[in-house]
Amino acid sequence: MARLKNIKMKQKKEQVQISKLVFTHNWEDPESDVAALRIKSNDVVQAITSGGCNVLGFLLHDPKIIYSVDINPAQSYLLELKIAAIKEFEFKEFTAFAGLTDCNNRIELYSKLKYLLSSDAATFWDIQTRIIEQGIIMNGKYERFIKRAGKFISILQGRKRVLDLFEKKTKAEQAAYFDNVWNTKRFKYLFKILFNKRMLARRGLVVDYFTFDDGSKSFADSFYNRSKKAFRDIPIENNYFLSLYLLGKFRNPEEVPVYLREENYGIIKSRVDRIKIITNEAQQWIDTMPDHSIDCFALSNICELMSEEETHTLFTAVDRTAKEGARIIFRNLMIPREIPNDLQASIKKDESLSRKLYENDRSFVYGKVAAYTVHKNNR
């Protein structure tokens, strides 16, 4: 999830520069990425780093190389740290260091892997002792906000109602629970508090500028509808995003990103050197790549940090560097973006797959999750 900061109604000239650790977890559903990208053995993949979770999971599909790109150096340092820990530790020690299980010696463990870090990454992590001690999972700026919000929801809804939400249910029982128990006036009011015009204006967002694909009239309505989909219609079992949002943690060792599952750890450990970490604007980095050199692009919602002109420049570069049949996934969180009109002949949206991805996206916060394929012969 690319960070939205100081975005004005009028288009700005440059992308937002970020220097703090915003995410320690990916908030893009990796199942959506995998379904859209269809990564094959020896594919060349470009992805936005963010929390590094999805990039690590992509290794299970045997790509030749993954270029993990992020404008924020702190996100690059996070992925460096995760890779170093995977290289240095066996699974149980890695999960303890990361924060999935109890551990009272994380600083000591950090000292064991520090030699694997670049000097810049080591300098960064040397002063992040609080995050190291608490475990890096769920300790970025966004994750700390999520944990506070989850506590607030527990107060509004009551702890028992929150815990009962996660009890095993049939599809019909889950829908009935939402309709009859969860969907309270307090729950609806939460969205009016968080997404009213005043709150959005404080973040530099002018609500009248935006349109909503779901027919909503406001951010409050739109985000309520997105959450309703997750609470009511998408199976709660195995949706670790929901447990992170409401409980601030994973519920059990099985409901986690694939790179945190023990059965996958050996494969990922053997392939982590295939990840190349790049700190740069995505479009500037893509400009350095040869024509027809990339099979898959996972772009998160970075276009929301760009003007329409910059979005056009980005996708022109994507079109140039994409191989025939290359796959793309990108998202909208708040600001609507689409493939520029003059590129839609070659970068074709898969409408059916895109609808399926959006309807089943477990992260549920995005207003659009869309898949595209590059067909150069259509130019």
CA distances from 159 to 149, 154, 165, 363 (A): 13, 5, 10, 22
Q: Mean per-residue pLDDT for 4-24? A: 52
3-state secondary structure of 192: helix
> Residue 206: inside a domain, yes or no?
yes
Give the count of domains, the chain.
2
Q: Mean per-residue pLDDT for 226-231? A: 93
Q: Are residues 260 and 134 in the same domain?
A: yes
Q: Are residues 54 and 159 in the same domain?
A: no
Query: Computed over its alpha carbons, how large is the radius of gyration of the chain?
Result: 20
Per-residue pLDDT tens over the stretch 49-64? 999 999 999 999 999 9
DSSP codes of every residue in 34-83: HHHH---TT-EEEEE-TTSHHHHHHGGG--SEEEEEES-HHHHHHHHHHH
> Residue 169: inside a domain, yes or no?
yes
Per-residue pLDDT tens over the stretch 278-328? 999 999 999 999 999 999 999 999 998 888 999 999 999 999 999 999 999
How far apart are alpha carbons 310 and 226 in whole angstroms? 28
Domain boundary among 196, 214, 247: 247
Which structure tokens are listed for 62? Answer: 């045997």
Domain boundary among 190, 222, 247: 247
Handedness of CA 69, 71, 77, 82 (dihedral sign): negative
The domain in which residue 191 lies consists of 141-247
The CATH number linked to 107 is 3.40.50.150
Q: Are residues 134 and 158 in the same domain?
A: no
Q: Are residues 181 and 145 in the same domain?
A: yes
Q: Are residues 53 and 187 in the same domain?
A: no
- 336, 308, 303, 335: which is closest to 205 by C-alpha? 335
